Amino acid sequence: AQSVTQLGSHVSVSEGALVLLRCNYSSSVPPYLFWYVQYPNQGLQLLLKYTSAATLVKGINGFEAEFKKSETSFHLTKPSAHMSDAAEYFCAVSEDGANNLFFGTGTRLTVIP
């Protein structure tokens, strides 16, 4: 069975500080992994995805994530937080890479001026 655990439902960082959002997955086969962002009153937008190519994946808005098989992790990072990064972030896993996405419970990121 596939699942995702996001540690920390709320994360606060100062503007300009490092952003680190944690995601650990469980999958019986090599997974596809995703990070989505949801701004208030909007749907989810894909930030980046891992599909078994490079283990370090770069996404939009300066975010990146590293796939670590030994740790079953896919943590999201950004070197310097911006006020516009305040949103909710969801990690998701898929074994078939097509229809079936399994989401974590999300992490709300607050950026302090």
Which 3 state secondary structure label does DSSP give 43?
Answer: coil
Contact between residue 88 and residue 36 where contact means Cβ atoms under 8 Å apart = no
Looking at residue 97, the DSSP 8-state letter turns out to be: S
Alpha helices, H only, 20-74: none
Contact between residue 66 and residue 75 where contact means Cβ atoms under 8 Å apart = yes
Q: Does 41 bind another protein (CB under 8 A)?
A: yes
Which of 17, 103 has the CB closer to another protein?
103
Which of 17, 108 has the CB closer to another protein?
108
Between residue 47 and residue 106, which ones bind another protein under the rule CB under 8 A? 49, 51, 90, 94, 97-106
Q: How far apart are CB 112 and another protein at their closest, in Å? A: 23
Q: How far apart are CB 105 and another protein at their closest, in Å? A: 5
Kindly report the number of other CB atoms within 10 A of residue 103's CB atom.
15
Q: Does 26 bind another protein (CB under 8 A)?
A: no
How crowded is the C-beta side of 47, counted as CA atoms within 13 Å? 27
Q: How far apart are CB 58 and another protein at their closest, in Å? A: 16
Residues near another protein (CB under 8 A): 4, 9, 32, 36, 41-46, 49, 51, 90, 94, 97-106
